[in-house]
Amino acid sequence: MSRIAVVGGDGIGPEVVQTGMRVLRAVAEGDPALDLEFTEFPWGCEYYLENGRMMPEDGIEVLSGFDALYLGAVGWPTVPDHVSLWQLLIPIRRNFDQYVNLRPARLLRGVESPLRKPGVLDVTVVRENTEGEYSDSGGRLFAGTPREVAIQDSVFTRHGLERIIRYAFDLAGTRRGRLTGATKSNGISITMPFFDEVFREVSEEYSDIEASLMHADALAARLVLDPESFDVVVGSNLLGDILSEVTAAVSGAIGIAPSANLNPEGDYPSLFEPIHGSAPDIAGKGVANPTGAIWAGAMMLDHLGYDAAGRRIVEALETTLESGTKTGDLGGSAKMDEVTEAVIERLRG
């Protein structure tokens, strides 16, 4: 049995994970080998407003007993973003050493890209998830005076770079054999040249992979103009975050894309979530696109070793979208539940 901790979070988060769980239960119904047990935790911004913290003090300890974590979205306008991020998601990523943030983007059947000439779009961004620019090392001096200074250090370690770059090379080897390293070593003159150096060193171990480095600004433009020229892109915490948002947008809409926060060694649970946020503007209306959450659920099954069930979910999702049952953000008129029921029907049928 696989034990899954579920944190719906805020806004559309709880809605889309409920949907995702319905789909996961449906796929498990027809598969005796697939035994999933869900335990839900009401953590997030509402919890913060009542208790002064995003999750209980022993939250990480509680989650450590599970095989995987399934998350909706965290963040609400009345709670500063840095509080919601640094008190929930970042402690989970760091304590569970989820150093790979895997963000696939693919133009699913039945979905139109906002690009005029999308071609084949199938790019996975591998984002470093535990260090880099997302560091709490630094400080603020002379706050509130004209001399105010803010300093924040970026942390790039050889250990952190080698393992994420190796992961990306290995992944490219299972796909179309092309890896692009996102850099910015022309402007960021200490950490990024170090990234480039480690990238080149590791690339020597992978002679069968076509590897290149590209400045992140040019890379972002090329992802829009010529997405088919990419296979796997690896980047630091910040650059990977931004570039994966671009790939999500060009593959149709932000509501489509999933994300896995992986501890590849399996020493700790990995976390699966849609990449979109809590979308307060559409929360509670039943119109959110559940695709990202459902696809993230399929990635969770792959990770737990149920690859065939994961593929069945993505196939049912694509057939549903292709038939025209899709939410407003994709130009359709279906509500979230209609999309979900159509996917479940295909899984049962």
Binding positions for ligand ATP, rule: CB under 6 A: 12, 73, 75, 81, 254-255, 276-282, 288-289, 292, 329
Minimum distance of ligand ATP from residue 211's CB (angstroms): 31
If the CB atoms of residues 8 and 181 are measured against ligand ATP, the closer one turns out to be 8
Identify the helix (H) or strand (E) that includes residue 295.
helix 291-303
Structural tokens at position 236:
């630091």
Contact assessment for residue 23 and residue 347, using Cβ atoms and an 8 Å cutoff: yes
If the CB atoms of residues 168 and 317 are measured against ligand ATP, the closer one turns out to be 317
Residue nearest to ligand ATP according to CB distances in the complex: 277
Minimum distance of ligand ATP from residue 12's CB (angstroms): 6
Minimum distance of ligand ATP from residue 209's CB (angstroms): 32
Minimum distance of ligand ATP from residue 6's CB (angstroms): 17
Minimum distance of ligand ATP from residue 75's CB (angstroms): 3
**Alpha carbons 213 and 7: distance in angstroms, whole number:** 37
Minimum distance of ligand ATP from residue 138's CB (angstroms): 23
If the CB atoms of residues 7 and 12 are measured against ligand ATP, the closer one turns out to be 12
If the CB atoms of residues 128 and 245 are measured against ligand ATP, the closer one turns out to be 245
If the CB atoms of residues 76 and 169 are measured against ligand ATP, the closer one turns out to be 76
Contact assessment for residue 41 and residue 7, using Cβ atoms and an 8 Å cutoff: yes
If the CB atoms of residues 177 and 280 are measured against ligand ATP, the closer one turns out to be 280
Q: At what angle do helices 336-348 and 307-322 cross, to 10 degrees?
A: 120
Task: Give 323-330's long-range contacts (Cβ < 8 A, gap of 24+).
Answer: 323/110, 324/110, 326/110, 326/111, 326/289, 327/255, 327/287, 327/288, 327/289, 327/290, 328/287, 329/253, 329/254, 329/255, 329/289, 330/111, 330/112, 330/252, 330/253, 330/255, 330/256, 330/289
Minimum distance of ligand ATP from residue 11's CB (angstroms): 7
If the CB atoms of residues 10 and 128 are measured against ligand ATP, the closer one turns out to be 10
CA distances in angstroms from 14 to 9, 70, 246, 278, 341, listed in the order given? 6, 11, 25, 9, 17
Minimum distance of ligand ATP from residue 245's CB (angstroms): 9
Minimum distance of ligand ATP from residue 291's CB (angstroms): 7
Q: 89: exposed, middle or buried (C-beta count within 10 Å: 0-12, 13-18, 19+)? A: buried
If the CB atoms of residues 14 and 255 are measured against ligand ATP, the closer one turns out to be 255
**Alpha carbons 70 and 75: distance in angstroms, whole number:** 16
If the CB atoms of residues 14 and 181 are measured against ligand ATP, the closer one turns out to be 14
